[in-house]
Structure 1
Amino acid sequence: MPSDNDFDLFSPPAAEDPFTVYDDIRGRCPVVHSENHGGYWIATSYQAVDDVAKNPELFSSVSISVPKNAFGDDLAERPPITLDPPRHAPFRRTLLPAFSPRQIRMLEPSVREHARELLAHMVGRDHCDAAAEYAKKIPSRFMARMIGCDDDRQDEFAERMRALLEANEMDEIQAAMAFTQPFLDELIEQRRRDPGDDLVSCVLSAEIDGRPLTGPELIGSLVLIITAGIDTTWSALGSSLWHLARHPEDRKRLVADPGLIPTAVEEFLRAFSPVQIARVVTRDTEFHGAQLAEGDSVLLGIPSANRDTEEFPGAGRVDIGREVNRHLAFGVGIHRCIGSSMARMEMRIALEEWLRAIPEFTLAPGDAVKWSTGHVWGPRRLDLILGSSEGQSS
C-alpha cells in the first residue's frame, strides 16, 4: 500500500517554502496514505486530484475535512459544498446572482478605495505586517459588504470572523461559533424582514429538496461562504506579497508593467494554492494504484497538483508571465469555487494598489513569516521592510 505515514496536514514540515512539502510525496505515488487523524488518503498528482473532483458518485462531498469531524457538529452541514448531485446544482444556482459579473463591477471601486485607505496608513513607515494589516483586511471588508453588513458594524463583523478563521482546536471552533452566531442570526432576521440582493438574502431564498434550509444548514452555508471568501483570498494575497518581497526581479517587472498583474495573479494562485479539502469514498475501489475502502477520506492535495511537472513545465519555478496555466486553485468539477472571479478581482486590485504605493519592499530578517496550517495555507504574519532594498539580500 502506498504510504506516507509522517505527513500531517495540520503540521507540515517547516520550510522556507511550505508549498514544496508535497514534492517528494508526489514523486513516489499519485495517491498516498497518512495515518494521522485517524488515517486519510492524499491525491497528490494533477490527474488524481482532477479525477477525484470530477467523480462525485465515487467521491462524495458529505464531509470535506480531515478528520471528518474537524469542524464539529455545528458546521457539519455547509451547503452547497457538502451537497452531492442532484441536490447540489439547484442550491448553487440560487447563489449565482450574488457572484455575477454585475456584482463584481459594482463592488470593484469599493475594493480599490479600501486598498488605498489601508496603504495610506503604511506609506512612509519602515515596516509593516502585510498579512494582518493588508491581506486580511481587503477580503474582510469586501465580504462584509457582500452580506449586507452595515458600515458601522463592519469592524464587529471582522472581529467575529477573525475568531472563526483563527480557531484550530475543536473547543476553539465551538467558542468561535458561540461568539459569531448571534451576529449572523441578527443579520438573517433583518434580511427575512427586508430582503435585498445581498448574499444573505440569496441563501435565505435557497432550497434543498424543495424545502427551506434548516437553521444549521443556513448558518453552515453562510459560515462556509464568508470564511472561504476571506481566508482563501487573505492567504493567496499574502503569499503573493511574500514572493514579491523575496524576488525583486518579479516585483520590479510588475511595477514597470502593471498590465502583467492579472497573469501574475494566476501564477501566484498556482504556485501558492491555499486550499485543500476532502471527499469520502462511497465504495471499495482501486484508484491510481491505491486500494480505497468505503468511508475513507481522500484529501485533494491541490497545492501538490499545481506543482506537478507532468502538467506544468518548470512547475517548481514561479513564472509571472506563464501564459498556459490550467491550475486547480479554485477547484474543478461541480464544486469549483463560485467566487473565483471575485477573488481574482480582489487580488488584482490589491496588488495594483500595493505596487503603486509601495514599489520597493523586502522580507524582514529573522522570523518574518508565520504560516497557517490545516485546510488553508497562507501567511498569518508577514513582516516586511518598506522602502529601498538596494544592497539587501533577498
Structure 2
Amino acid sequence: MIYTTKAYQEQDMNNPVPLTPKPDHVPAELVVDYDYIRPDGLEEVGVYKAVKRLHDGPDIIWSPRHGGHWMVTRAEDVKFVQLNYEIFSHEEFMIPRTLMPLKPLPLAVDPPNHARYRAVINPGFMPGKVAKMRDDARELTIELVEKLLPQGHCELLGDFARVMPVTMFLRIVDLPLDRREEFVEWGIALMSSYDPAERLAAQIRVRDYLKTVLDERDNGDGDDLLTRVAAWRRNPRFQSEEEVLSMASLLFFGGLDTVASEIAYIAHYLAQHPEQQRRLREEPEIIPAACEEFLRRFGLSNTGRILTRDFEYKGVLFKKDEMIMVPNNLSGIDDREYACPMDVDFDRNAPAHNTFGNGPHKCVGQGLARAEIEIFLEEFVGRLPEFRLDPDRKNVEHCGSVPGFDELYLRWD
C-alpha cells in the first residue's frame, strides 16, 4: 500500500505504534506500509505468500514501521547489501535498532575486527567436526522417530524440530541436555519478543547463566566452544569481559531457533505433497539437492544493516545512519532469479541462494545446518509412513526476524 499524507497522521488500531514520517529524500512512490513482524495476509496465506506480494511493487521500498527503514526485495540486491559491509554495516542488525540492547559478537562487528572473534568460533564447525556431529544427529533422529512412530501423530516442534537440532547444539557447547526445554524457553523469550525491555531481560538471564559456565571452564582443557570462548580472556587482544559474554550469548541463541524453523517449514510442505515424500524415500540420492531447494524456498532470517555513509544505489539515495532490511525469505522466492520460485523442484538447476548470507557474515553454522536437514529428510521422512497435516489442529505461524511455526501438528497411519 502506498502511503498518503492522511495515512501518516493515523495509527493502525491493531498495531498502535506511531508511524514514522517520511524523510524528505524518500520518494513518495517508494513508501509502502509493510510490517515485517505482522505482514498483511499472514494468517490467511502464510508468511511466504504474504511477503511475496512485495514483488508487485518497487525493488526498494521504505516502510514507516518500526522507526522507518529501507528494504530491498530482490535477490541481487540482498546479495549486494550482504557483500558490501563497508556501506551496509552489521553493527546494527535489528529493526528497530533498539531491539538488541546488548550486541553479540562477532555478529555485530565488521571486518577487520570481525575476524578475531570469528576465529574463536570457526574451529567448532570445521568439516571434521560436522562429520562427527552428523553421525550423532542420525543416531538421535532414529531414536526420536522410533518413539514417535507408534503414536501416529506429533506436534513437530516440541517432539522433534526443537529436540534434535537443539540437542546437537547443547552437545557442541557441552551444556546439560536435561535443561533443553528450559533453554528453548529462554531462546523463545528473546526471539519472539519485540519489546526492547523484554529482550534485554532475556539477554541478561542467559548472560548470567553463561558467566557461571565460562568461569567454570576458564583454563579448562575441553574442546567445546564455550571453553574456547573462555580462553579468549587470555588472548593478547582481549579487551573486556563483554567480549566473552557476547560471543557465548550468540552461540546460545544462534543454536536454538533457525534449524528448527527450517525443519518445520519443510515438514509443513511435505505434509501437503505426498508425492514429494515418496520421491525422497525412493530416491535418497536426491536428498542433498532437495536440501538446497528447501533452503532456497524457505529462506528465514530478516536482518537489518545500518548505513555508514550517504550512498546512492539504483537511483535511490540512502542516508547515513538509516536502517535497511535484508529479507532472506524474499530473496529465495524472487522470480527474476528462479523460475516458478514458489514451487519446490528437486531437479532445479538454480543459482546459489542467499539463505546463509554472503561475505564475512556468512553463517558459521551452515555446514551443520545442512547436515541436520539432510538427516531429517533421510531418517524422519524416510522412516515415517506418509504423513499429513492434522485436520483437527491449528498450526500457528509467525513472521519477524526468524519466521516459523509455534505449533505444527502432523498425523500418519
Q: TM-score, normalised by structure 2?
A: 0.87
When structure 1 is superposed on structure 2, of 190-199 and 235-244 the one drifting more is 190-199
Tell me the residue number matched to 1:59. Answer: 88
Q: Which amino acid aligns with 1:10?
A: I
Tell me the residue number matched to 1:226. Answer: 252
1:6 to 28, 33, 49: 33
Q: String of CA shifts for 1:228-247, please: whole Å, max 9, x gaps.
A: 23211011111000100011
Give the secondary structure class of the aligned counterpart of 2:409.
Answer: strand
- Is the 1:41–1:297 contact (alpha carbons within 8 Å) kept by the matching residues of 2? yes
Tell me the residue number matched to 2:215. Answer: 189
Give the secondary structure class of the aligned counterpart of 2:175.
Answer: coil
Q: String of CA shifts for 1:290-332, please: whole Å, max 9, x gaps.
A: 2211111011011111111221122121112223341111011
Q: Give aligned pairs, total.
A: 384
Tell me the residue number matched to 2:226. Answer: 200
When structure 1 is superposed on structure 2, of 267-276 and 14-23 the one drifting more is 14-23
Corresponding position: 1:87 with 2:113: yes
When structure 1 is superposed on structure 2, of 37-46 and 102-111 the one drifting more is 102-111
Question: For the residues of structure 2 that align with 1:114 and 1:167, how far apart are their CA atoms?
Answer: 31
Question: For the residues of structure 2 that align with 1:56 and 1:207, how far apart are their CA atoms?
Answer: 28
Give the secondary structure class of the aligned counterpart of 2:148.
Answer: coil
Give the secondary structure class of the aligned counterpart of 2:35.
Answer: coil
Q: Which amino acid aligns with 1:67?
A: P
Give the secondary structure class of the aligned counterpart of 1:80.
Answer: coil
- The structural deviation recorded for 1:141 is 0.5
* CA distance 1:112–1:35, change in 2 (3 Å): same
Unaligned runs of 5+ in 2: 1-26
- The structural deviation recorded for 1:348 is 0.8
Q: TM-score, normalised by structure 1?
A: 0.91
When structure 1 is superposed on structure 2, of 46-55 and 19-28 the one drifting more is 19-28
When structure 1 is superposed on structure 2, of 339-348 and 190-199 the one drifting more is 190-199
Q: Which amino acid aligns with 1:5?
A: V
> Identity across aligned pairs (percent)?
29
- Is the 2:263–2:373 contact (alpha carbons within 8 Å) kept by the matching residues of 1? yes
Corresponding position: 1:214 with 2:243: no
Corresponding position: 1:267 with 2:296: no
Tell me the residue number matched to 1:249. Answer: 275
2:354 to 312, 323, 328: 328
1:122 to 148, 164, 168: 148
* CA distance 1:53–1:16, change in 2 (3 Å): same
Tell me the residue number matched to 1:141. Answer: 167
Corresponding position: 1:18 with 2:44: no
- Is the 1:252–1:359 contact (alpha carbons within 8 Å) kept by the matching residues of 2? no
- The structural deviation recorded for 1:252 is 1.2
Q: Which amino acid aligns with 1:120?
A: E
Tell me the residue number matched to 2:98. Answer: 69
Tell me the residue number matched to 1:170. Answer: 196
Give the secondary structure class of the aligned counterpart of 1:298.
Answer: strand
- The structural deviation recorded for 1:209 is 11
Q: CA RMSD in A?
A: 2.2
- The structural deviation recorded for 1:154 is 4.6
Q: Which amino acid aligns with 1:330?
A: F
